[in-house]
């Protein structure tokens, strides 16, 4: 049995970047800063998020830099060849399946959850 589930709560590090494809698919990319529980002086951990479909549209419309969000997703690695050196490169990213908008009403967000259906990946 294998399990690949990631749950994170943190703040958006930048405004989301949205791409619309000719096929009708929508992809949203955003970074997430997550504070550690141990010490307040530790810098946050940073994660790259990839969001697809209707959930991506919600993220594009409601998530802004500094927004408090919760996500559930799966860890995966993005692979590519470096254009300059030709070396294989990779970076971890979280493919988001569920997005929770956790900000206060003053921040312009309610407490809302959006889930991407499995067929939209």
How many helices and strands, by DSSP H and E, does the chain display?
1, 7
Using 50, 70 and 90 to split pLDDT, how confident is the model at 121? very low
37-70 tens-digit pLDDT: 776 778 899 999 999 999 999 999 999 999 999 9
The pLDDT > 70 percentage for the chain reads 84
Contact, 12 vs 31, CB < 8 A? yes
Residue with tokens 């010490």: 39
Q: What is the DSSP letter of 108?
A: T
Distance between CA atoms of 29 and 24, rounded to whole angstroms? 17
Please tell me the pTM assigned to this model.
0.80
The residue extents of the domains of the chain are 13-27+40-67
Residue with tokens 């959930």: 55
Contacts of 107 (CB under 8 A, 6+ apart): 67, 68
């Amino acid at each position: 049995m294998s399990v690949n589930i990631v749950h994170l709560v943190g703040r958006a590090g930048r405004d989301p970047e949205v791409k619309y494809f000719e096929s009708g698919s929508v992809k949203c990319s955003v970074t997430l800063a997550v504070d550690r529980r141990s010490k307040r002086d530790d810098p946050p951990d940073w994660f790259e998020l990839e969001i697809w479909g209707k959930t991506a549209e919600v993220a594009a419309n409601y998530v802004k830099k500094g927004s408090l969000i919760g996500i559930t997703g799966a860890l995966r690695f993005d692979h590519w060849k470096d254009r300059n050196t030709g070396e294989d490169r990779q970076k971890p990213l979280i493919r988001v399946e569920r997005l929770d908008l956790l900000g206060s009403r003053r921040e312009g967000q309610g407490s809302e959850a959006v889930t991407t259906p499995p067929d939209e990946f």
